[in-house]
Chains A and B, each alone.
Chain A
Amino acid sequence: MSRLAVPKTYKLFIGGAFPRSESGRTYEVRSADGGFLANAAKASRKDARDAVVAARGAVAGWAGATAYNRGQVLYRIAELLEGRRAQFAAEIEEAEGLTRAQAGAQVDEAIDRWVWYAGWADKFAQVAGNANPVAGPYFNISVPEPTGVVAIVAPQDSSLVGLVSAVAPALVAGNAVIVVASERFPLSAISLAEVLATSDVPKGVVNVLTGSPAEIAPWLASHSDVNALDLVGAGELDWVDLEIAAADTLKRVLRPEPGPDAAAPALDRIAAFTETKTVWHTKSLR
């Protein structure tokens, strides 16, 4: 007797929960050869707004956690990804039309990047911070602090590596993230959300939206409660307009990066979403 197929429902990931789109919309995700893969939720601007509310609520706790603790939590994600390596490889193989070996290599790359960024969590401040020399008996210390809520348009031509490469560096410093996944390859993003939901990442720290970046990104770019905008995967959009909208509310903006090497691992990506705080303190009082 043949078994009944049990296809997976791919939903959004907002505030640690997996809601359907508030609009009720879905869109078909197809494999490289045109076959039907799944229906993914098509997020609306209200889903984006809900995600911002969830992210805002999560910033204080995540930014307030010790850097060491954030590093442990991020490393734990890499551990869980490793355990579900086969599932991700199969998903990427189908969606992008790669061989099993190529898909597996992509998953490995994504896991390696998580580990790399996780390691930086309690080391970044030593590199980016500074004890400034001043003409007086004071300590003058600069430390990087997280910018806050970061909205990301993930690279559109990659299932997992691009997404991880954009999300992980923003998390390292203690930001909360809303990421608009690749429109063509959204399934790995939701599977990654399942990993995040079962790891130690506090709810709301990462929020994943699937659907049309062209529709959602303008609402995130103009949202007053979003502090920074990473347009790494927005090359195909009217990203200049997005940058203008972001300027109205003084957001930090990273411009689109084309090509397969988009968002290559770099300390600059961590530094991009930090603010430098400088404090003075007396050295001694005699």
Chain B
Amino acid sequence: MSGTSLVTARERALAVLGGEPDDATLRRYLHGIAGVDAVGLEQRAAGLGTRSIKTSSKKWALDRIISLVDLTTLEGADTPGKVRSLVAKAMNPDPADATTPRVAAVCVYGDMVPHAVDALGSVHGDPDDGLISVAAVATAFPSGRSSLEIKLADTAEAVANGADEIDMVIDRGAFLAGRYGLVFDQIAAVKEACRRPDGTSASLKVILETGELVTYDNVRRASWLSILAGGDFIKTSTGKVQPAATLPVTLLMLEVVRDWHLMTGQRIGVKPAGGIRASKDAIKYLVTVAETVGEEWLQPHLFRFGASSLLNDVLLQRQKMATGHYSGADYVTID
């Protein structure tokens, strides 16, 4: 996967905004977007969650969920060995069933990228080709509270180590203080730092941390801001703050992505992360994606689940469908 070219991203933003992306212009633009009907949004999300997905559709959905998962470990206690076992699970989620698809990516801290790349070996590559990419969280994840220089160095190091995707956090403090220009510039600068010497670029996921943005209006503005600044993906959460991903927030972000696609023709990815633990919940997200932006989005370069425990639940459901009886935690790995 390669990120969008930088020049067109900036030119596109200038054209949409009708001026330089400074605080005043962005404020005028973002605050000009209609407010979110919170009750309507939550009702729509709840309605989409009531679909009954059974038998062959469920089987398809479970396999698709696995192929959209960013298998994640983001703990202070991560070790090279833990990353290797995570990669082993990513390559072969259910050793008892060879038909189980691989996950899309493994998501680790920047300093663990070399270990993930080593462990993946020849399987390292584009998830659209059935391979597994390496995503690294960067820019002083999860708080984002450090200087731009450190954030850029963090990003460049992860890319140099072989990360294919960078999950950056926005500066929520600056966003909430109304410094939209600062947030824009930081995203654009990190996007620049994602470039590799050969001219290609790592894909950039922009984490909004919706749990800290407080209102749906802010989520909508932050989504627009991140897309305008050149993000290839918008991602709900770090997983370190509650509430993390919720269905209404994800629906709202998908609506922004849909509007952006109608406006510019460009396809932006969405990644709900944190708090999605049950297959049943994950299926609701698939329904929401298909109904909001279309089934076309249900592929690894346009939609991801950021999850760790979700995979085991999907495997249990898969085993239930294969054997006809309920499976148990003894039949999947302890992560």
Residues of chain A having any CB pair with chain B under 8 Å: 49, 52, 56, 219, 222-226, 245, 248
Instruction: Select which of A56, A245, A248 is within 8 A of B328 by beta carbon.
Output: A56
B331 to A, closest residue via Cβ: A224
CB of B60 within 8 Å of the partner chain: no
Which residues of chain B have C-beta atoms less than 8 A from A223's C-beta? 325-326, 328
Instruction: Select which of B319, B325, B331 is within 8 A of A245 by beta carbon.
Output: B325
In the complex, how many angstroms separate the beta carbon of A96 from the nearest chain B beta carbon? 34
Bound Cα distance A192, B119 (Å):
55
A223 to B, closest residue via Cβ: B326
Bound Cα distance A219, B326 (Å):
7
Interface size class of chain B, counting residues whose CB lies under 8 Å from the partner chain: under 10
Bound Cα distance A224, B329 (Å):
8
Which residues of chain A have C-beta atoms less than 8 A from B325's C-beta? 219, 222-224, 245, 248
CB of B92 within 8 Å of the partner chain: no
Which residues of chain B have C-beta atoms less than 8 A from A56's C-beta? 328-329
CB of B37 within 8 Å of the partner chain: no
Instruction: Select which of A219, A222, A225, A245 is within 8 A of B330 by beta carbon.
Output: A225
Q: Which of B319, B325, B326, B328 counts the most A-chain CB atoms under 10 A from its CB?
A: B326
Residues of chain B having any CB pair with chain A under 8 Å: 319, 324-331
Which residues of chain A have C-beta atoms less than 8 A from B327's C-beta? 224-225
Main secondary structure of the interface of A (DSSP, over half): helix
A245 to B, closest residue via Cβ: B325
In the complex, how many angstroms separate the beta carbon of B314 from the nearest chain A beta carbon? 16
Bound Cα distance A55, B330 (Å):
14
Which residues of chain A have C-beta atoms less than 8 A from B319's C-beta? 224
B325 to A, closest residue via Cβ: A222
Bound Cα distance A248, B327 (Å):
12
Which residues of chain A have C-beta atoms less than 8 A from B329's C-beta? 56, 225
Contact A49 B326 (CB under 8 A): yes
Counting residue pairs across A and B whose Cβ atoms lie within 8 Å, the total is 28
- Sort A-B residue pairs by CB-CB distance and give the 9 closest, nearest first: A225-B328, A222-B325, A224-B328, A223-B326, A224-B327, A49-B326, A224-B331, A223-B325, A224-B326
Bound Cα distance A49, B317 (Å):
12
Which residues of chain A have C-beta atoms less than 8 A from B326's C-beta? 49, 52, 219, 222-225
Bound Cα distance A222, B324 (Å):
9
Bound Cα distance A223, B328 (Å):
7
Q: A223-B326, A224-B328, A224-B330 are in contact. List 19 more A-B contacts (CB 8 A).
A: A52-B326, A52-B328, A56-B328, A56-B329, A219-B325, A219-B326, A222-B324, A222-B326, A223-B325, A223-B328, A224-B319, A224-B325, A224-B327, A224-B331, A225-B328, A225-B329, A225-B330, A226-B328, A248-B325
In the complex, how many angstroms separate the beta carbon of A219 from the nearest chain B beta carbon? 7
Which residues of chain A have C-beta atoms less than 8 A from B328's C-beta? 52, 56, 223-226
Bound Cα distance A224, B327 (Å):
5
Bound Cα distance A223, B324 (Å):
10
In the complex, how many angstroms separate the beta carbon of A256 from the nearest chain B beta carbon? 21
Q: Which of A52, A219, A224, A225 counts the most B-chain CB atoms under 10 A from its CB?
A: A224
Bound Cα distance A177, B326 (Å):
17
List 16 A-B pairs, Cβ < 8 Å.
A52-B326, A219-B326, A222-B324, A222-B325, A223-B326, A223-B328, A224-B319, A224-B325, A224-B327, A224-B328, A224-B330, A224-B331, A225-B326, A225-B327, A225-B329, A245-B325
Which residues of chain A have C-beta atoms less than 8 A from B331's C-beta? 224
Bound Cα distance A65, B70 (Å):
38
Which residues of chain B have C-beta atoms less than 8 A from A49's C-beta? 326
A52 to B, closest residue via Cβ: B326
Bound Cα distance A222, B331 (Å):
14
B324 to A, closest residue via Cβ: A222
In the complex, how many angstroms separate the beta carbon of A24 from the nearest chain B beta carbon? 14
Bound Cα distance A49, B325 (Å):
10
Q: Which of B319, B325, B329 counts the most A-chain CB atoms under 10 A from its CB?
A: B325
B328 to A, closest residue via Cβ: A225
In the complex, how many angstroms separate the beta carbon of A54 from the nearest chain B beta carbon? 13
Bound Cα distance A237, B101 (Å):
40
Bound Cα distance A154, B325 (Å):
22
In the complex, how many angstroms separate the beta carbon of A178 from the nearest chain B beta carbon? 12
Bound Cα distance A226, B331 (Å):
12
In the complex, how many angstroms separate the beta carbon of B317 from the nearest chain A beta carbon? 11
In the complex, how many angstroms separate the beta carbon of A146 from the nearest chain B beta carbon? 15
Bound Cα distance A226, B327 (Å):
9
Bound Cα distance A71, B328 (Å):
29
A218 to B, closest residue via Cβ: B325
Which residues of chain B have C-beta atoms less than 8 A from A226's C-beta? 328
Bound Cα distance A56, B326 (Å):
13
Bound Cα distance A225, B332 (Å):
11
Bound Cα distance A223, B319 (Å):
11
Q: Which of B327, B328, B330 counts the most A-chain CB atoms under 10 A from its CB?
A: B328
Bound Cα distance A56, B328 (Å):
9
Bound Cα distance A225, B324 (Å):
14
Which residues of chain B have C-beta atoms less than 8 A from A219's C-beta? 325-326
